[in-house]
Structure 1
Amino acid sequence: MRTIALEEHYATAGFLRGPGSWLASRAGVIEPIADLGDGRIAAMDEAGVDLAVLSLAAPGVEQLDGPKAAPLARECNDELAAAVGRYPGRLAGFATMPISAPDAAADELERAMLKLGFLGAVINGHSQGRYLDDPYFEPVLDRAAALNAPIYLHPTIPPTAVIESSYAGFAPEVTFALATVGWGWHINTATHVLRLILGGVFDRYPELQVVIGHMGEATSFMLPRFDATLKPELTGLKHPVSTYLRQNLTYTFANFNDEAMYANLVAQVGIDRVAFSADYPFGSMKAARAFMDNLPLTDDERARISHRNAEKLLGL
């Protein structure tokens, strides 16, 4: 069965010399994350993954000022495009944008989509403490909507003030894990999604599609509570929060290979909003594939998660 992996990561040498080294080195994945060649394709083949949509690993360029972010984003996109050209039909790309300079980011998204053939964009969390509902980023949202470009919203380390107020006071490695992969950056991403909804982004751009990983970053568990407490008469939105979570979001596995979490996600948003990913090389493609293959699904349901939902999202 055809399989498309939606959250798979890469890094360039230039990125690893700059902001990209901290997470990749901590995770011990410098070699596989920099491999845009035969080693990556072999890992895909071993797991039966036909197409991997690659995005620049966190923290991306989101925390850099525009003059530094723009050339690095362009360099990363060009290197990814070259790899896609070497492996047509096996690799695809989400664009990196210098989001701290919104007009330049919008132009880079358009270049990546129209000239490089990319399928959307990745945004690694906040940009210097600002979130996408901020009117500052309207040029990016406007261009993404015009290009029908889905945005993969990936976690990043929370702002320093949040770490200090919520996660400090433990051993440094405990604070780091709690603030990032253990809790903080998942909840920060869920909050980011809620800010997009409550900020009226999807009312202004009803066709805009956002993708989040890690089985929904805990949003599905809270979905009934959102509807009970954030009603349209309070928020001024056109719909309940759940409507946007079911119409404007797609959710991927991203190394959260847990059947109970999957069951809750599907119960809340429906199987047509769920897609396969492995979070490679931070997660194992083989483990993600085995998890999907062992889910109690019909052939039609498995096909939707494996490739059909992604094809619809990406216009393939």
Structure 2
Amino acid sequence: MRVDVHHHAIFPGYARRLAELGIGAQPGIPLPAWSAAGSLAMMDRTGIDLAILSVGSPGFHFGDPQLTRELCREVNDDLVATVAEHPRRFRAFAALPLPSCDDALAELDRVTGDDAFAGVGLLTNYAARYLGDPAFDPLLAELDRRGAVAHVHPTLPLHYPAAEIDLRPSLIEYVFDTTRAVVNLMLNGVHHRFPGITWIFSHCGGTAPYLAGRLAIAEPLPELAQAGSVYEALRSFHYDIALATTPYALGAAAALVGPGHLLVGSDFPFVDEPTVRGCLSEAAEVLGPDAMDTVARDTPARLFPTLTTETR
């Protein structure tokens, strides 16, 4: 089975609520149209057997905790219904109403036990708090206890826009915010303190593979000394390859962690089908057929063992 771990679902209720708030996918960019049928058609044409759905950015927190709870509940219910309609083609990452750990734990309990969910979907930061912030320790401890898979999607940093660069933020800011999230986890020893969590970072971990040597300069810090080297930490994480399939991006990530810690990600429908097809073809050229089979089939089978039996 070829599994896509970075595949978005944009439900009508969610889109309507965000439209009422004047919020789009990114500043000045509307949410794309989405349907389960459209995803399935794209998957059939690109050879993807199963997609793990998530919402991703802009997420659910817009300053009103009640709205955050309602949006996550509604989206999770929509995800369950979608997986129930197409159990051989979809699973989902559960949405959690962060930054409130109490709310997130309550929603995690509510969805626990539903086979629709293969893990949880998180953002790189919530109101400028990154996932290694001690405020999130109660949630991380519970995810660790459950042996959960956490897929981390980038979002806007608090400082955006910090400079006049006339590009949509997903092109550079998302990449840098993923890097911040990775470094924040390492500096707070999250991978060491909560080893039961399997982390998947989007887009080959942003610039983390490129910066590995520079980050190693920080190894004398007590937080990193306790948890091993920067290289060990980065190699303990997993990374999806969405929009990061050039030899310069995917090549660096593959050299650092090997194909066994990489997974296919399409980023559909924020990324259109021709681009997805081109990225998958490029990845196969960069990695070679055997390594690409590992990325597309073997690694997800290891991380999500129930998928190989429940979806065939």
Q: TM-score, normalised by structure 2?
A: 0.88
The DSSP-based 3-state class of the residue aligned with 1:98 is: coil
Q: How many residues are matched?
A: 300
Aligned-partner Cα distance in 2 for 1:211–1:280: 17
The answer to whether structure 1 residue 105 and structure 2 residue 104 are counterparts is yes
Match for 1:266 among 251, 254, 259? 254
- Deviation string 1:8-52 (CA, Å, 9 cap, x unpaired) is 1111222212337511795565323xx12x222111101110000
Aligned-partner Cα distance in 1 for 2:172–2:26: 18
Alignment match, 2:304: 314
Aligned-partner Cα distance in 1 for 2:31–2:245: 20
Aligned-partner Cα distance in 2 for 1:144–1:19: 28
Aligned-partner Cα distance in 2 for 1:52–1:26: 28
The answer to whether structure 1 residue 220 and structure 2 residue 209 are counterparts is yes
- Deviation string 1:196-251 (CA, Å, 9 cap, x unpaired) is 1111212211222211121220100011221233335574433112111101x111
Question: Please, which runs of 5 or more residues in structure 1 have no aligned partner?
Answer: none
The DSSP-based 3-state class of the residue aligned with 1:259 is: coil
Alignment match, 2:121: 122
Alignment match, 1:287: 278
Residue identity (%): 24
- Contact 1:55-1:96 within 8 A present in 2 as well: yes
Distance 1:113 1:245, change over 3 A: farther
Counterparts in 2 of 1:29-108, with a 5 A limit? 30-32=32-34, 35-36=35-36, 38-108=37-107
Alignment match, 1:148: 147
The DSSP-based 3-state class of the residue aligned with 2:91 is: strand
Amino acid at match of 2:44: D
Shift of 1:93: 0.1
- Contact 2:120-2:149 within 8 A present in 1 as well: yes
Amino acid at match of 1:111: R
- Contact 1:97-1:108 within 8 A present in 2 as well: yes
Alignment match, 2:24: 22
> Root-mean-square deviation (CA), in Å?
2.1
Question: Please, which runs of 5 or more residues in structure 2 have no aligned partner?
Answer: 307-312
The DSSP-based 3-state class of the residue aligned with 1:19 is: helix
Distance 1:96 1:296, change over 3 A: closer
Alignment match, 1:254: 242
Distance 1:102 1:59, change over 3 A: same
Q: TM-score, normalised by structure 1?
A: 0.87
Amino acid at match of 2:294: R
- Contact 1:19-1:61 within 8 A present in 2 as well: no
Shift of 1:56: 0.6
